[in-house]
Amino acid sequence: MDAAYAAAYPDLYRRHWWWRVREEILLRHIGRLLSDRRDARILDVGCGAGLFFDALDGFGRIEGIESDPAALAASGRWRSRIHAGELDASYTPSAAFDLILMLDVLEHIEAPDPLLRRAADLLAPAGHLLVTVPAFNWLWTAHDELNKHARRYSAAELRRALEQAGLRVEQSSYLFQSLVVPKVLVRMKEAMTSPRPHVPAIPPPWINDVVQRWFRAEHAVMGWLPFGSSLLSVARRRE
């Protein structure tokens, strides 16, 4: 992640409407996946400073993996729960996980198969992998450059990557449908102006609140639509 973006990220995560809506959506999905568990083992891959841990803590035992030393240094009270390194053979947890999260991780990786296979190996028999990624390469903008993305995914492309790693996709849905048109317009503008990437800003409070309410309602009413600027998939290990 860009250094300026990394410095701004904690405040963006806690206050910006996009992160607030995404967290609400994720918690609803996680609540359904773990509805029969109160002591679930959860692994957050690429967890950064553990900003999601406070919300996850009520579901059970949360652990994380992060390779960025700057993020680890900012992780505060969650540092002891975060493994410094990559999700590979060097990571040997004491037990399998009921839920593994990869939240906007795969788009940074050119060849995600080893990572996904290792995640599949670490899932409990009834465990789930929950993945989010940015959607559609034709929505590529300078924001992807800022985030050092390698690619964006369609539902079919993400399904193929998960299935090749020995996982069975149970659910896929697009998020943030209303962002598609603005992102297309931004892409068209950038094709003519070639702007430098810049760190997102938090809108004024009233705008931030209105937009948050809009996208919360949009997901409840139109979350079934086959397009969006982000994509969420849930998979299980194929027996």
pLDDT tens by residue, 138-165: 999 999 999 999 999 999 999 999 999 9
Question: Which CATH code fits 3-237?
Answer: 3.40.50.150
What is the Cα gyration radius of the chain? Answer: 17
C-alpha torsion 186→188→193→194, nearest 10: 80
Give the Cα separation of 40 and 57 in Å (integer).
10
pTM metric for this prediction: 0.96
- pLDDT at position 34: 96
pLDDT of residue 10: 92
Residue 1 has pLDDT above 70, yes or no: no
pLDDT at 3: 75
Q: Is residue 185's pLDDT more than 70? A: yes
Q: Domain-by-domain residue ranges, the chain? A: 3-237
pLDDT over 70 percentage in the chain: 99
Q: Please give the average per-residue pLDDT across 199-226, as a whole number.
A: 96
